[in-house]
Amino acid sequence: MPTQYVEVPARTILNRIPHDRYGFHWSMNLYRGCRHGCPFCYARHTHQFLGYDNPRDFQEVVEVKVNAPELLAQELSAHNWRREPVALGTATDSYQPAERTYHLTRQALILLARFRTPALISTKSDLVTRDIDILQRLTQRSSAVVAMSIMTPDVKLSRWLEPWAVSIRARFKALEVLKEAGISTGLHMMPILPGINDDDESLATICRMAAEVGVDYLSHSHLHLRGKVVRDYFLRQLQHYDADIYRRYQNMFDHSRETPWEWRQDLDERIARFRMFYGLQSERHFMEERDQQMELFSV
């Protein structure tokens, strides 16, 4: 089904994160909904708050915050704005197909550069390379980090987990191009799913490919099914994909939204070993070094 784009006015554009669990205090989502169609996406349930009852509406009806640039200019020019890092792509991809038409992300980056505000971008799209000129300007005036989300090297599996995202090859190529342009890059293995993309061969392959394109850091997260809408939708899609794994997941998420603690601990240890073997830095260490450099830069 073709995507329906609905132009809506936003009341605010910068969202305050009440804790530093993610390493930043501000996020910005220029669109609501996401065409990539990942069945596990934690933000899928938010479309219900907007009056969309079908879980598929999250990828088939994308709201566009057409006044986002004007609002962002106002908020960044406020006397109490402290130029703290702003994360783009926390609930919806800022470089999903709608961006080719609306250019909201490019306009937002221009404003962040003007107001010397760092940007942290997470995306599944190579469209981000279109804005290398702005990202270079932002790097010179403050800081810009682009992280590509790649959760498996398996093309067939990727087509199920992220059906309308660009190819894995295109995403790695984008990381290579960004790095050559002097932009800081990261790779997000998010999420890792038990029995689906958590085998050693897959994890090691992604780490190796990340090292080959020279990313500055690699991070990962575990599957988290937030709310009944997300859980039920994901399990329905999983049932069509693999009936045996579906039954396992039914039991796993019967009374929990999290994967088993023992599995998470083992996964963290394995990825840490692969990261060390391939000489990859953790996101936390990279961000700490970046913050120190920014403090020196601002003196």
- Which tens digit of pLDDT belongs to each residue from 103-155? 999 999 999 999 999 999 999 999 999 999 999 999 999 999 999 999 999 99
Structural domain total, the chain? 1
The domain in which residue 58 lies consists of 4-298
What confidence tens digit (pLDDT) does each residue in 59-83 have? 999 999 999 999 999 999 999 999 9
The CATH number of whichever domain residue 129 belongs to comes to 3.20.20.70
- pTM, two decimal places: 0.94
Give yes or no for residue 296 having a pLDDT over 70: no
Q: Which two tokens stand for residue 112?
A: 């962040």
Strand order in the sheet with 119-123: 15-16, 26-28, 86-88, 119-123, 144-149, 184-192, 217-222
What is the model's pLDDT at position 215?
98
Give yes or no for residue 298 having a pLDDT over 70: no
What is the model's pLDDT at position 299?
46
**Which of 34, 42, 10 shows the shortest CA–CA distance to 98?**
34
Rounded Cα distance between 231 and 214, Å, is 36
